Amino acid sequence: MCNDHNLKKSMAGIIAVLFLAITLFSSVYIIVESDHDCSGEDCHICHMIEVCEALLQRIEHALSSFTAVIFLCFVSIFLKGIRSGIGVAKTLFDLKVRLNS
């Protein structure tokens, strides 16, 4: 069980580092090659800049969707916490009290 948890943590760390590296290298490529000598419509550098921009936009959309899902999860947990504490009468059965005579 502990090995499975460590594996998940290490995989999450690797994925986070890969996302960071992709974002960083794509941004640096766009910055460095923005003033290149374009050779026309079949320019390979312009094509790679477009690919990097599309990749950055996909990552941005994925992160915004992930942020929205995490926010909704926190709101759901918060509302469950409020609902469980308000207006619910606890019975002895709910509290798991055993009445011995």
Blockwise average pLDDT, block size 10, the chain, 101 residues: 80 89 90 84 87 89 89 89 66 70 61
Q: How far apart are CA 65 and CA 61, in angstroms?
A: 6
* Residue 54 structure tokens: 């599309």
pLDDT at 88: 60
User: Which class for 59: exposed (0-12), middle (13-18), buried (19 or more C-beta within 10 A)?
Assistant: middle
Q: Does residue 80 belong to any structural domain of this protein?
A: yes
Cα dihedral 75, 81, 86, 89 in deg (nearest 10) = 140
Domain that holds residue 7: 2-85
Give residue 40's region: left, alpha or beta (phi > 0; psi -120 to 50). left
Q: How far apart are CA 61 and CA 69, in angstroms?
A: 12
- For residues 3-32, one letter each, b for 16 or more C-beta atoms within 10 angstroms of the residue's C-beta and e for the rest, the string is eeeeeeeeeeeeeeeeeeeebeebeeeeee
Q: Does residue 53 belong to any structural domain of this protein?
A: yes
Q: Does residue 60 belong to any structural domain of this protein?
A: yes
pLDDT at 98: 67
pLDDT at 42: 85
Domain count, the chain: 1
pLDDT at 19: 86
pLDDT at 99: 67
